[in-house]
A and B are shown apart, each in its own frame.
Chain A
Amino acid sequence: MSKQIIASSNQRARQLTAAEIAEIDHELGLYPDKQAVGLEALKIVQKHQGWVSDESLLAIAGYLDLPVAGLEGVATFFNLIYRRPVGRNVMLFCDSVSCWIMGCEGLKAHIKQALDIDFGETSKDGDFTLIPVPCLGDCDRAPVMMVGEDLHRNLTAEKIDKIILDYRKGEGSE
C-alpha cells in the first residue's frame, strides 16, 4: 500500500487496534467516499484512546488514505476532538446564557478552585479536565455540566463538591 507523503515529519503512525478498525470499516460502508469518514474515525479513536495523538492521527490518515494535513484541519476544527491528553473524566461546564442567568459565574470560580485548575487544564492527579461549552441543551435545569457521559443539573457549589468526590471514588455515574 502506498502511503501519503508526510515529508520530514518524524512522527510515525501507530497500529490501529482491531476494534478501532472494525468500527471504522463499519462507517466506511455508510459513506460514498473516504473523506467523509475522517471525522467518524477520529471520534472512534478518541472513544478508545481518550484522545487523538499525532500517532493516532497519522494512523487514521494512513488507513483512510487521506492527507494528514486535511485530517488535522477536521480534528482541530471541533472542540471536542482532543488533540492533547485529557484526564480520566472530562468536565464540560456550560457557560452559555441560561446558565449565566442562573449564576454559573460563581460556580466557575468554585470549580476552578476545587480542582485547582483553570479551564482547558487537567488536574494534577489526572482525574479531571475542565472545558467550557456553549450550551448542553438542558437550559430549564441550569446551571448544568457534563462529566464523561453524564449530565449534572441544577448545580450548586455543594453539589459540585459531591460530584467531584464521587468521581474520585469511582462512583460518579448517577
Chain B
Amino acid sequence: MAKIVIDGVSYEVDPANNLLQECLSQGLDLPYFCWHPCMGSVGACRQCAVKQYRDADDKDGILVMACMTPASDGTIISIEDTQAKSFRADVIESLMISHPHDCPVCEEGGECHLQDMTQMSGHNYRRYDKKKVTHRNQYLGPFINHEMNRCIACYRCVRYYNDYAGGTDLSAQASHHHVYFGRQADGVLESEFSGNLVEVCPTGVFTDKGFSENYTRKWDLQSAPSVCVGCAVGCNTTPGERYGSLRRLVNRYNSEINGYFLCDRGRFGFDFVNSEQRLTEPVRIVNGESQTLAAAELSQTLTEFSSGGAIGIGSPRASNESNFMLRCLVGEKNFYAGCADTEHEALQTIIEFAADPSFHCPSISEIEQADAVVILGEDVTNTAPRLALALRQSVRNKALSLAEDSHIASWQDAAVRELAQQQRSPLCVLSSYATRLDDVASDTIIEAPGVLTAIGFGIANKLSDKAPAADARSVGAYAEVIEAVAEQLMAAKRPLIIAGTSAGKTDLIHAAANIARALKEKHGSEKVDLCLLVPEVNSMGLTMMVNKENTLGRALKKLSSGAVSHAVVLENDLYRRADSGVVDAALERLENLMVLDLLETATTAKASVVLPTTAFSEHEATYVNYEGRAQLSFQVHMNHGAAKPAWRWLNGEQECDVETMVNRCSSEARGFDKLGQLLPDPAQFVAGMKIPRQSQRYSGRTAIKANLDVHEPKQPVDSESVMAFSMEGIPAQKDAAFMASAWAPRWNSNQSISKFQEEVNGKLKQGHIGTQLIEKLANGGAYLPPASPSTEVVDGSLEVVLAHQIFGSDELSARSDSIQQRMTDPYIGISPTDAQAQGVQHGDMVSLDGIEVPVVACIRSKMPEGVVAIYCGDGDINPHSLPATVSIGSSESPVGERGIRGLIVSDLLEDY
C-alpha cells in the first residue's frame, strides 16, 4: 500500500494503479473520457488533469494527467486546484467545439457521460460561434445507430472494438478536426460484442437502435436487477420497461461474471418478451377449439394431472422454482429431464466433474487470468459468447507479463500493446470448423470430432503416462502439436481447459477432464481450471433437480407405450429435444397434455391444456449457471396478459410467495440447500420500506394511462418482492445488491458503477455475485478411457457435426426482432474439395438424405474433407433427427429470404 495526499487529505492506495483509478476508488469526482476501467489508460483526452506537487513545500506544482501517473507512495496532488480546474474546463470546451448540443433529441441524454463530465468540469457557456464540422453517418446493422456529429474523439470505441473485442471492421479514420469512427463502408458491425459500444461511447455516437425506435429516457424506465437467459453464462443485466413493454437491456456489473460487457445476443435478444405471439390466456383445447379455462376448472385440471402417475418434463430454460414445483406435482420418480438424451448424459458428467476436488470451474473473470488455454470442440463464440470475449483477454496475459518484466504498469495500455505486438499467451482451438477465435489462437486444429477427441486424450497422455492414450493412428499427424500444447500447459501459471455439450460428444468432455486431471497430477496446483459449458440458462439447475436415469428418452418411451395418460411439459418444445417422429409417437398416445410456456411452439400445438407463463423480466426467479453458481433475478414489470410464473400455475390455489418458494426449493431439493442465501435479508431494509424500481424523477405516472381513464390508476402492488412498482421507497444509494439501475449524484450514466464498487473493478458494495451450489467431494475421480472408435463413414457420405450461431441457435432470443435480422437460413458448411466432388456451388440449395428441409451450401475453406457442419436454423431442422452421416443431393427449392448473406464466419472462400 502507498500513502498519497489528495487536496490535503491522506489516502491509502495501491501503488500499482494510476491516480485516476485511485481517485475514483476513493469516491472522488474526477472527470475523464478515454480511460475505461477495463481498458486502461492512453492519456488521449487530457480531461483528468490534476496538479501534482513535488513535496509539501512545492506551492506551484505541475499539471499531470491522473490516468497516466502512478499512485506511488508520497504523491501529493490536487483536484480542486484552480489551474487544474480551468485546464479541465478548457479541455472539455475544445472537445465540444463541434458537438451538436442535440441532447433533447439524443438517445444518450439523461445517461450521458459527456453531459456528466461537462457539468463536472464547469464548461457551461459556449463561446465558439463558427461553423461546426459535420459528418455522414453509416448504416451499421440492426443493432447500432451511428451519429458521428456527437463524437468528441476519445477513441474509446476503437480501443474497445478492436483492441478489447478483437473486431476488425471499425476504425479511426482521417485526422485532426475531421477524425471519423466508422466502417470502411456502410454495413453490419461484425463483432458479436458490438452492442457494448452503446455503453463504451461516452456520448451518443453509438446508440441502441431498437431502443431508439421505442425510446424512453433512462429515468422513465422501470428497472430491476436481472439475469440474462440467452445462454448458461448468466450475465447480469438491467432491463428497462415503459408502457408495458420491455424497451432495452443494459449491462449490470458483476465483478466475477460479465464485468462491464455483454454479448449481442444478450443485449438485443430480449424482445421476445414483447412478442405478439405471447400466450395470454389459460386454455383447454377441445376438438381443436380453445376455451378459456376458468379458475375453478383449473384446480380440477391440476388434480387430474397430479394423480395417476402423470409424467412431468422439466426444462433447462425454466427457473429452479418452476422445475421444482413440477417435480412436486408429479413426484420425483415421474419428473424427467427436458433435454436431449446425449445432452443429459453430458450434463450428468459435467455435474460429476463440478464436484471433483481436482477441478475448478472458472468464472469469466478467472478465465481472463488463464495464461494457456485449450478449447476442445466447443464453439464458444456461438454457444457462450461472453466467454469468448474473456478468452480474448486471456491471450493478453503474455503482454502483461512482458510488461511486468519491463517495469511497465499494466494500465499503460498503449505501451503494453506496443511492447507485445503480436505476442500472445497460447490458445489452442480444436474444432470441427473454423471459429471466430482462430485469429488469436496459437494453434488451430480443424478436424472430425473423432480426431479431436483422440488429440485430447493424446495431450492428457503426454502430460501423464497414467492417462490412457488414444488411437495412435488418428493422432499421428498431430504428435508435434500434442507435445507443444502439453508443454504450454505445463509452463503456464494458470492453465485452462474448455469443453462443453454443444458438439454432442461426451467423449470430448472426458478428454478435457483427463487433460485437467493429468495437469493436476503434474502441475502441482491445488485445482486445475476446467470449464465445461452447458447450453442453456438453467441446464445445470435442471440436471441437479432430475434423477440421473430419468432421461427424456425414457419419458417418451413410457408415453408412447400408453402406460401413462397424462403429461405436463414445462416451458419446453420437445420437438427441439428429440427426434420428431419419436415425439409425435409419444404425444399421440396421450390423453391429456398440459404445456406451460410463454410462446407458441410445436409442442403447445399438441396440448390439451395450455397455460401462459411469464418471461424472465416478469418474474423473480433463480437460475444456475455453467459454474453451478445460483443467481437471483428480479421481476422488472407486470405480467403479460394472464401469464403467471409456471410454478404458480402448478401450485394451484395455494397461496405462496416467491421467497417461500425459493426457501422450499432450498430445503427440499437435494443440492439446492444454499439457494436460500440468495434472498435478501429483511434487516437490510429501512423500516421495512421497499426498493423502488422507478427512479426518483420517473415522470408522467399520473398521465401514463390518461388515454384510457382520466383517473390516476393505483400503482400495481408487489406484495412479494423487496422491490416496488413505484418511485417511493429507499433507493439503493450506496448498496448495490438491489439497485434498479446504476445512478449516483453527478453520475447519470452506467459509469456511475464506480460509486458502488469497493474499488474500481472490485466487488460491488454489498452486491451479490451469486452462490455456488455444488460442493466438492472429498476424493477426485479417475482417468477415463477413450470410447469406442467414432462414426464409420460410408463411402460418399459425409460426417455430420453441428454448427451453432449466436443469432438463431437460442430458441427465445431468435424470436426477437433485431436478432431475426441477423439470422441466416439453415446451411451446410462444406469443404471446397467435397463441394467440387458433389458438384455443389456456394449458395446452392441442397437436400440432405432423410431431411425434409433443404439447406444452403456454404463452402468454407477450412472445413476438413469428409465433414460437414450443419446449422439447423431456428428449429427449421431437428438436430436430433440428423443422421451421423449424410449424402448431399441437389434441390430445386429457391433460396430462402434470409439465405446465408448475413453469415459471418472467418473462412468463406475468396470468390464468393
Residues on A lying within 8 angstroms of B by beta carbon are 1-9, 11, 33, 54, 57, 62, 67-73, 76-77
Interface centre among B174, B906, B907 (most CB of A within 10 A): B174
Q: What's the count of A-B pairs with C-beta under 8 Å?
A: 73
Q: Does B862 contact A5, Cβ atoms closer than 8 Å?
A: no
Contact A69 B908 (CB under 8 A): no
Knowing A5-B190, A70-B168, say if A77 contacts B185 (CB, 8 Å). no
When A2-B906, A77-B173 are in contact, do A7 and B184 touch as well, CB less than 8 Å? no
**9 A-B pairs with the lowest CB-CB distances in the bound complex, closest first:** A8-B187, A67-B168, A69-B171, A73-B171, A76-B173, A9-B185, A72-B184, A76-B174, A69-B184
Residues of B within 8 A of A1 (CB): 861, 910
**Chain B interface residue count, Cβ-Cβ cutoff 8 angstroms:** 30
User: Does B183 belong to the interface (CB within 8 Å)?
Assistant: yes
- Point out the residues of chain B lying under 8 angstroms from A5, CB to CB: 168-169, 190, 904-906, 908
Pairwise interchain contact B170-A69, C-beta atoms closer than 8 A: yes
Say which residue of A2, A11, A62 sits within 8 Å of B185 (CB atoms): A11
Partner of A8 from B175, B180, B186 at Cβ < 8 Å = B186
- Let me know if B175 and A77 touch, CB within 8 A: yes
Tell me the complex Cα distance, A62–B184, Å. Answer: 14
B719 in contact (CB, < 8 A): no
In contact, A68 and B908 (Cβ under 8 angstroms): no
Binding site for A on B (CB under 8 A): 162, 168-175, 180, 183-188, 190, 421-422, 861-862, 901-902, 904-910
> A72-B171, A72-B173 are known contacts; what are 7 more A-B pairs with Cβ within 8 Å?
A2-B862, A2-B908, A33-B422, A62-B910, A69-B168, A71-B184, A73-B172
Least CB separation from B175: chain A residue: A77
Contact of B908 among A3, A9, A62 (CB under 8 A): A3
CB distance from A96 to the nearest CB of B (A): 16
Most buried by B among A5, A9, A54: A5
Task: List A contacts of B908 (CB < 8 A).
Answer: 2-3, 5
| Bound-state Cα–Cα, A8 to B900, Å | 12
How far apart are the CA atoms of A5 and B184 in the complex, in Å? 12
Instruction: For A68, list chain B residues within 8 Å (CB).
Output: 169, 184
Could you tell me if A8 and B188 are in contact, using CB atoms closer than 8 angstroms? yes
| Residues of B close to A8: CB separation below 8 A | 185-188, 901
| A3-B905 Cα distance, complex, nearest whole Å | 11
* A72 cross-chain contacts in B, Cβ below 8 A: 171, 173, 184
The answer to whether A4 touches B174 (Cβ under 8 A) is: no
Chain B residues whose CB sits within 8 angstroms of the CB of A2 once the complex forms: 861-862, 906-910
Which of chain A's residues have a CB closer than 8 A to the CB of B186?
A: 8-9
What is the distance, in angstroms, from B771's C-beta to the closest C-beta of chain A? Answer: 41
Q: Which of A3, A9, A33, A77 contacts B184 (CB 8 A)?
A: A9
Residues of A within 8 A of B168 (CB): 4-5, 67, 69-70
Q: Please, which residues of chain B bring their CB within 8 A of the CB of A54? A: 185
A3–B168 CA distance with the chains assembled, in angstroms: 13
List residues of chain A with CB within 8 A of the CB of B175: 76-77
Interchain CB contact under 8 A, A3 and B910:
yes
Looking at the assembled complex, report how far the CB atom of A140 sits from the nearest CB atom of chain B, in whole angstroms.
28
CB B148 to nearest CB in A, in angstroms, measures: 14
Jot down 8 A-B pairs with beta carbons below 8 A, ordered by A: A8-B186, A33-B422, A67-B168, A67-B171, A69-B169, A70-B162, A72-B173, A73-B173
Residues of B within 8 A of A67 (CB): 168-169, 171
A70 and B861 alpha carbons, distance in the complex (Å): 24
CA distance A72 to B180 in the complex (A): 11
Q: In the complex, A76 Cα to B531 Cα: how many Å?
A: 44
A5 to B421, CA, bound (A): 23
Q: Which residue of B lies closest to A61 (CB)?
A: B184
- B863 to A: closest C-beta gap in Å: 12
Cβ of B187: which chain A residues have Cβ within 8 Å of it? 6-9
A58 to B185, CA, bound (A): 11
Shortest C-beta distance, A166 to chain B (Å), equals: 34
Evaluate contact between B184 and A57: CB separation under 8 angstroms: yes
Whole-angstrom distance between the alpha carbons of A62 and B190 in the complex?
18
CB distance from B901 to the nearest CB of A (A): 8
> Is A7 a contact of B174 with CB atoms below 8 Å?
no
Shortest distance in angstroms between A4's beta carbon and chain B's nearest beta carbon? 7
Q: Are A70 and B171 in contact (CB under 8 A)?
A: yes
B183 engages A69 (CB within 8 Å): yes
Minimum Cβ distance to chain B for residue A23 (Å): 22
A130 to B861, CA, bound (A): 47
Contact of B169 among A7, A11, A57, A76 (CB under 8 A): A7
**Cα distance A9–B189 in the bound complex, in angstroms:** 11
Q: Which of B162, B174, B183, B861 contacts A77 (CB 8 A)?
A: B174
A173 vs chain B, min Cβ distance (A): 32
